[in-house]
Structure 1
Amino acid sequence: METKREGVLKRTLSKNVLGKQDTEPHVLRKTVDNDREKQEKISENASTTSKMVTGIMDQETLDRICNRYNRKDKLVVQHCESICKEIQRRYPEYVIHVYAAYKKENERKIVFVVTVMWDFDLKENDIGYRMIKRNYGDISTEGIDISTSKEEKELMISAEEHKKLSLCISKYSDKLMDHHRYLNVISGSFVRSKNYKPSSLCLTKESCMALYVYVKGFIPIEEDAFQTTYDGVSVDIREGLFFPYGMATEYHENIKMGCMITRHTGMSTNLGGTLGGFIDHPLYGLCCITCAHAMMRPEEMKFCVENKGEIASPHVYSSDIVNQPKCVAYQHNKIGRVVQAIYKEGNHSEAGVEVALIQIEDRPPVSGEFPETTINGMTIFVIE
């Protein structure tokens, strides 16, 4: 009962540009001549009542054209894009991402959401625009506090409510992700948060669709605010990011969840993925799981689809050794081999299944811990 946009924020921030543009027709956009006339009037006004910095419209002039037209107007959006790029141009080493936003209570007051490196002190006076600054990766703790709360863990809802919530998420998740580029996770929740403060968590029992966004309350100017309900299901907006777990590429004497694994096929390209959890299988004994598409040959996947979504020995290439982290000559990296896989597509009411089962023959796990993930010698993620 959860939808995630895999790596969307990471991808968006790394691009350092605004995301896709609004494709809805602009209400006030009539003809090219009208746009040209509008631009000439704005330029004339700007030259007499306001100053332009390096050819970029200043905040005062931007406020005036936004009040005259609207936040979705073509010219407003274009000037906001230029301002975002200008802010990044001035501080290329410190400003990671900028987008133009508004608050629901005042759609004509544009604010620039600026994401910066942790050690960079940036103020509105520095850039000359109305701004909210965010340190990279810094989000409200509201979502974490709710998900770890006693109420969220212990409250139960009826089967009918659960089905209604699941169907609602299935129905709207793709549409919401398409229309809100900073929406990162959609999840079902049994409680709603009101007037959140770090020192005071006020929760009410109510099944709802939890929408996790990058910065709560600051909506991109090309987008409309979320509805308060969808098909009778309430919405609770929270802050949250989703990054796919980076697999650990180091060799581990005893394998752990999250380790990089590869299947040596003897062909030019081997198969690879991330090691999932461990199970005690009644037939194969100690096994680990991973995604089927990451471990199975094309012909094995074809056989699986054509045979009610399942494949097992003798139709699996048992000679293909699974290694951790990968197959290297003269190194004992073997952990086992694939013995079974299941691949079944889901629909609006049922989840799909896609899993490969690896029988562990060597270097079994000794704990349920995840490994440290490092990049350039720096630890970036640890789960215990």
Structure 2
Amino acid sequence: MCQIFGRKSKAIIVTCKAICEYIKSKHVAIAHVWAAYTIENPQRITFVITVKQKSEGTKSKESVRLEKLIQYSFVKQYAGDFSLEGSEVIKQQASHAAKLDEESYENLQTCISKHSEDLMKKHKYLSIISACSKRSKGFGASWELLPEKCIVLYVQKKNYIPIDEEPFEASYDSIPVDVREGVFIPYGHTAREKLNPVRMGCQIGGDCSSGTLGCFIDHPQYGVCGLTCAHVLLNPLELLHLETYGMMKWPLHGMVKNVYQPADNKSVLGNVVQLIRKTALKQYLWNGCGFVQSHRQTTENGKFP
């Protein structure tokens, strides 16, 4: 049909849409279906079928025998189940301390800013655009991780292109492209809600003030802690004490200083364990930081994400 009508013709689009609906109706576990082609065979239509994962605590993951239900060419993908390529590249980068220099990073970000809006409009299953110091090639038995700065495009299913779209360019502004699998999933909660697990940017507070939870660190003495500005957790007298002594360990005189999330003095997230004050540019600029140790069960293993 593609050779007769053309892959992007109305006849093909309407027919594939009807087939997608038909395939989805064949089993309750089928979450989404879309028609695709590959660069190697642009005239052959393959249907990408996303199958729901069974919830934890139920019996073993249901095996949907799509080959017995569907007579069309298809590939099956479980929801949220992606190739390990992206995570393996990140691991390799971390182990080799591969970092982008400032000039390279700025060039990549300029390119991303220039093309991201247009790319997102043209490619509906493009989810994330990022920069990387390594380019992945031939993931699998012949995998190579090339020392080449690139733009990374994360898609729902690598090597499969929606029938009404064109492939990505091999490069943008002479910067090569690396396509990997992955999606961005918005959390859907506000910073002022009670979150479990807690996340960067959520609202926290002490007994008299509130602010934002920053990043997480693995402290050599206190373990996994959250980082925030000290004015979020201290009263004016305590701030003055910190300015005088430069560092404080809590609890002082046996008094525990609770940290709440959200800042409603109802839900205790943890307690303050250490505060540090720094100065900059020979000016007495106070920018104290407070370490927060959590008591809340944040993930299955009780650790911060």
Q: Match of 1:193?
A: 136
Trace 1:13-52 onto structure 2 (pairs within 5 A).
none
For 2:174, the aligned partner's letter is G
| Number of residue-to-residue matches in the alignment | 242
Instruction: Give the C-alpha shift of residue 122 in structure 1.
Output: 2.8
Instruction: Give the C-alpha shift of residue 178 in structure 1.
Output: 1.1
CA distance 1:241–1:369, change in 2 (3 Å)? farther
Trace 1:189-268 onto structure 2 (pairs within 5 A).
189-197=132-140, 201-245=143-187, 257=199, 261=203
Measure the CA separation in 2 of the matches of 1:382 and 1:219: 38
Q: Match of 1:284?
A: 231
Instruction: Give the C-alpha shift of residue 323 in structure 1.
Output: 6.0
Q: Does 1:90 align with 2:32?
A: no
Measure the CA separation in 2 of the matches of 1:172 and 1:143: 21
State percent identity of aligned pairs: 33
Trace 1:38-117 onto structure 2 (pairs within 5 A).
65-91=1-27, 93-117=28-52
Measure the CA separation in 1 of the matches of 2:185 and 2:304: 14
1:366 aligns with one of 270, 283, 293: 293
Residues 217-263 of structure 1, C-alpha deviations (whole Å, 9 max, x = no match): 000001100000000000000111222346696689xx954596489
Q: Match of 2:261?
A: 324
Cα pair 1:257 1:368 within 8 Å, conserved: no
Q: Match of 1:177?
A: 120
Cα pair 1:146 1:152 within 8 Å, conserved: no
Higher RCO structure (Cα 8 Å, ≥6 apart): 1
Instruction: Give the C-alpha shift of residue 124 in structure 1.
Output: 3.2
Residues 51-74 of structure 1, C-alpha deviations (whole Å, 9 max, x = no match): xxxxxxxxxxxxxx2121211000
CA distance 1:380–1:222, change in 2 (3 Å)? farther
Measure the CA separation in 1 of the matches of 2:122 and 2:176: 19
Instruction: Give the C-alpha shift of residue 183 in structure 1.
Output: 0.7
Trace 1:136-151 onto structure 2 (pairs within 5 A).
136-150=79-93
For 1:239, the aligned partner's letter is E
CA distance 1:368–1:213, change in 2 (3 Å)? farther
Q: Note the aligned Cα RMSD (angstroms).
A: 4.0
CA distance 1:161–1:89, change in 2 (3 Å)? same
What SS does the corresponding residue of 1:365 show, helix, strand or coil?
A: strand
What SS does the corresponding residue of 2:124 show, helix, strand or coil?
A: coil
CA distance 1:280–1:182, change in 2 (3 Å)? closer
Q: Match of 2:274?
A: none
Measure the CA separation in 1 of the matches of 2:102 and 2:202: 38
Structure 1 segments unaligned to the other structure (5+ residues): 1-64, 264-272, 288-321, 336-356, 373-378
What SS does the corresponding residue of 2:16 show, helix, strand or coil?
A: helix
Cα pair 1:190 1:207 within 8 Å, conserved: yes
Instruction: Give the C-alpha shift of residue 324 in structure 1.
Output: 2.8
Instruction: Give the C-alpha shift of residue 274 in structure 1.
Output: 8.0
Measure the CA separation in 2 of the matches of 1:382 and 1:100: 41
CA distance 1:365–1:200, change in 2 (3 Å)? farther
Cα pair 2:269 2:295 within 8 Å, conserved: no
Instruction: Give the C-alpha shift of residue 148 in structure 1.
Output: 1.5
Measure the CA separation in 2 of the matches of 1:332 and 1:168: 44
Measure the CA separation in 1 of the matches of 2:297 and 2:97: 26
Q: More helix per residue: 1 or 2?
A: 1
